[in-house]
Amino acid sequence: MAFSRESALDVAKVLSESLPYIQRFAGKTLVIKYGGNAMTDETLQAGFARDIVLMKAIGINPIVVHGGGPQIGDMLAKLNIESKFINGMRVTDTATMDVVEMVLGGQVNKEIVNLICEAGGKAIGITGKDSRFIKAKKLFVKHQAEGMTTPEQVDIGHVGEVASVDTSFLKFFENSDLIPVIAPIGVDDEGNSYNINADLVAGKVAEAVGAEKLMLLTNISGVQDKQGNVLTGLSTAQVDALIADGTIYGGMLPKISCALSAVNSGVTSAHIIDGRVPHATLLEIFTDTGVGTLISNTKVGE
């Protein structure tokens, strides 16, 4: 592709301005949760893969954790297996878990690995069952049916939460040219498989490896105030206040809780970014403006 002189100067300016960020983050680990529109739009897919390859090429260690809820739903429908949800969480019996493993650990995971390889990188697809590096425990949800005075604990099958992460397994990839792509499936001490929320896995992996950044790609522009303006440069205390006054609510709460947990556990910053924007991860890392909400324990300017 030919550049005009003016366009070439713009590219050179962008590259020059990114230098301090490249120097700052070289050798650091970034955990990126990949999902939403960025995972289903072909242009965004290719851009994401190139971004990940670029990170690795300049000395950053990216770890990709992916979701796949829509793909699981599509496959269950094709197999005439009914999907049931309680409090927004899929009830996962043994038959459903088999499909989850097939779709997440096979189809989706390998598609992402292939995208990264096509962009010139080297990726390896893994699940938490590999070397049992993600230990899981069963997740019970509280549900209050109509007519009940108090909520009950409900067993929703093979749905889990992270009990522990074996960092020695992940540290291996830092010293190689391989980019790990993780499907969010864990295993307990008895060998039972569990489907775990991808945001939660990304957060716990970031905590375990002491990541510089946790980046959660979403289908929204970021955390918004009550007037719809995107908020960024937030401290954990400010986020707590936004939850308390009802500004942050509903479906955003689980992502925010994941981000807060990571930052409070030593991750330098967490980012909730708009995966619908081309090259969103690079824009968030290498520019001052970014494309989403940054949360840290330090206010901007301090």
Query: Tens of pLDDT along 11-35?
Result: 777 777 788 888 899 999 999 999 8
Q: Is residue 100 part of a domain?
A: yes
Counting residues of the chain whose pLDDT is more than 70, the rounded percentage is 93
Query: 128, 186 in Cβ contact below 8 A?
Result: yes
Q: Is residue 148 part of a domain?
A: no
Instruction: Give me the amino acid identity at 224.
Output: Q
How confident is the model over 77-88, as a mean pLDDT?
86
| DSSP-based three-state secondary structure for 184 | coil
Could you tell me which residues come within 8 angstroms of residue 214 by beta carbon, excluding any fewer than 6 positions away? 30, 31, 33, 202, 203, 206, 258, 259, 262, 263, 267, 269, 270, 271
CA distance 260 to 241: 13
Q: How far apart are the first and last CA of the chain?
A: 42
The model's pLDDT over 85-123, given as tens digits with 9 standing for 90+, comes to 887 778 898 999 999 999 999 999 999 999 999 999 999
Query: 34, 67 in Cβ contact below 8 A?
Result: yes
How confident is the model over 289-302, as a mean pLDDT?
72
Predicted confidence at residue 302, as pLDDT, reads 44
Residue 300 confidence class, pLDDT cut points 50, 70, 90: very low
Q: Is residue 159 part of a domain?
A: no
Q: Is residue 158 part of a domain?
A: no
Handedness of CA 14, 17, 19, 20 (dihedral sign): negative
Instruction: Give me the amino acid identity at 7.
Output: S
How confident is the model over 130-151, as a mean pLDDT?
78
Domain that holds residue 240: 26-83+91-131+167-185+194-296
Q: Is residue 276 part of a domain?
A: yes
What CATH number does residue 228 fall under? 3.40.1160.10
Q: Is residue 274 part of a domain?
A: yes
Predicted confidence at residue 144, as pLDDT, reads 58
Strands (E), 17-151: 29-34, 61-66, 85-86, 89-90, 122-127, 134-143
Q: Is residue 235 part of a domain?
A: yes
Q: Is residue 175 part of a domain?
A: yes
The model's pLDDT over 223-248, given as tens digits with 9 standing for 90+, comes to 888 888 888 889 899 999 999 988 88
Residue 54 confidence class, pLDDT cut points 50, 70, 90: very high
Residue 143 confidence class, pLDDT cut points 50, 70, 90: low
In sequence order, what are the beta bridge partners of 234?
Answer: 295
Query: 109, 39 in Cβ contact below 8 A?
Result: no
Task: With CA atoms as reference, report the closest residue to 128 among 85, 158, 149.
Answer: 158
**Joined tokens for residue 223:** 């955390």
The model's pLDDT over 38-47, given as tens digits with 9 standing for 90+, comes to 888 899 999 9
Residue 145 confidence class, pLDDT cut points 50, 70, 90: low
Q: Is 132 a residue whose pLDDT tops 90?
A: yes
Number of domains in the chain: 1
CA distance 183 to 67: 7
CA distance 112 to 118: 10
